Amino acid sequence: MIIFISIFVLTSLISSTLVFSSLNNFPIARPGCKSTCGEVQIPFPFGIKRKCYRTKQFLVTCNNTDFTPPKLFWGNVEITDISLDGQITVVRSIAKNCYDKQQNRSSDNNPILELPSNFRVSNTANKFTIVGCDSYGYVSGRRRIGRNFTTGCTAMCSSRNDLQERECAGAGCCQTTFPEDVWWVRIDVRSYSNYTKVSDFSNCSYGFIVKDKAFTFSKDNLTNLSNVTKLPAVLNWDIGKGTCEVAKSNLKAYACKSAESECYEPVSGSGYRCRCRNGYEGNPYLTSGCIDIDECTLKISNCTKNAKCENTIGSYTCSCPKGHKGDGKEGDGCVKKQSLMIAYVLIGKHSWERNNADNIEEMEYLLPNNHDGMGGVSSSVGYDSISRDHIGLPINGGGGR
């Protein structure tokens, strides 16, 4: 008994260590380069020192003299997240307009953001937002392709009671989208009449481009945004100019360095990016940066519980225990080898005994699978269904590489 327990403890210890190392295995930065600053990861192409970043546009600095934990900066802009999917989250100054009744004076702050050539303000992950009760604001921008633009909205109210928590549809708060491909923006906020009618509860307007989920309107924000100077926004980046085809023709400059990486062109913008192929994870911009995902150890395979999962390079296989057939994957799974007749009788009897309506559905579902053990798609033999099978299920026994 004691021996049995200690073996059990030992095996579970080993398997948990395996899970841990497999999650942390892939390289983030080039060898010898700092890969974190405080809590922020710095994946290549971003880097702090020469030879650690790809081009000057990806040069960042880690300020650990004035901040604990240290903060990551890109020029004078703070970065809170870098994603290898081609996004970074930065903390941006917000635009303000306030009016001081006593001195009959208004103050303004209209921040400008200007990005290097392979960066854009994401128009899908952000919203342009105005908060105020006698307010309007607009964002003016320049695009790489297409025309300059100006867009904006109006936020009004006559009392705090007009305002609805979490609602940003014109009363005290308004939001609007803006076009794609924007590399330069300026935000302006104004009041219509110096907050004359609302001055007992509001004498400022605020405007910002903010990450969608990072701002939810509250009545309190009319006043307490005065203490907020910066909010997060999402920027998109490409690794290089041009299409994948053009990029591949100059292998020396081509950024997708990992053998298991592939090139793609994002929907907006005019450059290309890299990603690890299906079944791999890691940093596609580094040589040997993409490593095999061990789907079995990570328990993300589609093998059913009774099937045996085996990792292969770039993929995995599921196999059914002895006396079972099927592909071992969710949906079809492994079915006990039995004649159609017996299976029908067993399942039928079972559902009869439990007298449960659900079991009738289950029976209808199981029967066609039992017919050849493979399920509906592959049993309809035809050129079309075979080729579709290949495209739809790239992860299939042995076919990964």
Ligand X SMILES: *[C@@H]1O[C@H](CO)[C@@H](O)[C@H](O)[C@H]1NC(C)=O
CB of residue 346 to ligand X, shortest distance in Å: 29
How far lies 225's CA from each of 66, 151, 219, 232, in Å?
24, 22, 10, 14
What is the number of other CB atoms lying within 10 angstroms of the CB of residue 167?
Answer: 13
Residue 80 engages ligand X in binding (rule: CB under 6 A)? no
Residue 313 engages ligand X in binding (rule: CB under 6 A)? no
Size of the site for ligand X (CB under 6 A): 32
Which residue, 298, 282, 292, 302, is CA-closest to 16? 298
Tell me the window of 99-107, 170-178, 256-264, 369-377 that interacts with ligand X (CB under 6 A). Answer: 99-107
What is the number of other CB atoms lying within 10 angstroms of the CB of residue 169?
Answer: 12
CB of residue 172 to ligand X, shortest distance in Å: 11
Bridge partner residues of 316 (DSSP): 311
What is the number of other CB atoms lying within 10 angstroms of the CB of residue 65?
Answer: 7
Contact 63, 48 (CB under 8 A): no
Distance, in Å, from the CA atom of 81 to the CA atom of 60, rounded to the nearest integer, reads 12
Site for ligand X in 228-247 (CB under 6 A): 228, 231
What is the number of other CB atoms lying within 10 angstroms of the CB of residue 59?
Answer: 17
Tell me the window of 10-18, 34-42, 59-67, 174-182 that interacts with ligand X (CB under 6 A). Answer: 59-67
- 212 vs 245, which CB is nearer to ligand X? 212
Number of H helices, E strands in the chain: 7, 26
Window 119-158: contact mask with ligand X (x via CB under 6 A) = -----------------------x----xx----------
Total residue count of the chain as it appears in this document: 401
Distance, in Å, from the CA atom of 175 to the CA atom of 188, rounded to the nearest integer, reads 14
Site for ligand X in 159-218 (CB under 6 A): 193-194, 201, 203, 215, 218
Q: Count the helix, strand and coil residues of the chain and give each as a percent rounded to the nearest 5.
A: 20, 35, 45
- 200 vs 384, which CB is nearer to ligand X? 200
Tell me the window of 36-44, 222-230, 241-249, 250-258 that interacts with ligand X (CB under 6 A). Answer: 222-230
CB of residue 342 to ligand X, shortest distance in Å: 31
Q: Judged by CB under 6 A, which of 25, 63, 117, 250 binds ligand X? A: 63
Q: Judged by CB under 6 A, which of 98, 187, 256, 296 binds ligand X? A: 98
Q: In whole angstroms, how large is the CA radius of gyration of the chain?
A: 29
Q: Judged by CB under 6 A, which of 7, 21, 69, 100 binds ligand X? A: 100
CB of residue 106 to ligand X, shortest distance in Å: 5
Contact 97, 297 (CB under 8 A): no
User: 53: which 2 tokens?
Assistant: 């970043």
Distance, in Å, from the CA atom of 362 to the CA atom of 302, rounded to the nearest integer, reads 20
CB of residue 315 to ligand X, shortest distance in Å: 8
Contact 160, 121 (CB under 8 A): no
- 272 vs 316, which CB is nearer to ligand X? 316
Q: Judged by CB under 6 A, which of 134, 295, 327, 332 binds ligand X? A: 295
Point out which residues bind ligand X (CB under 6 A): 61, 63, 65-66, 98, 100, 104-106, 142, 147-148, 193-194, 201, 203, 215, 218, 220-221, 223-228, 231, 295, 300-302, 395
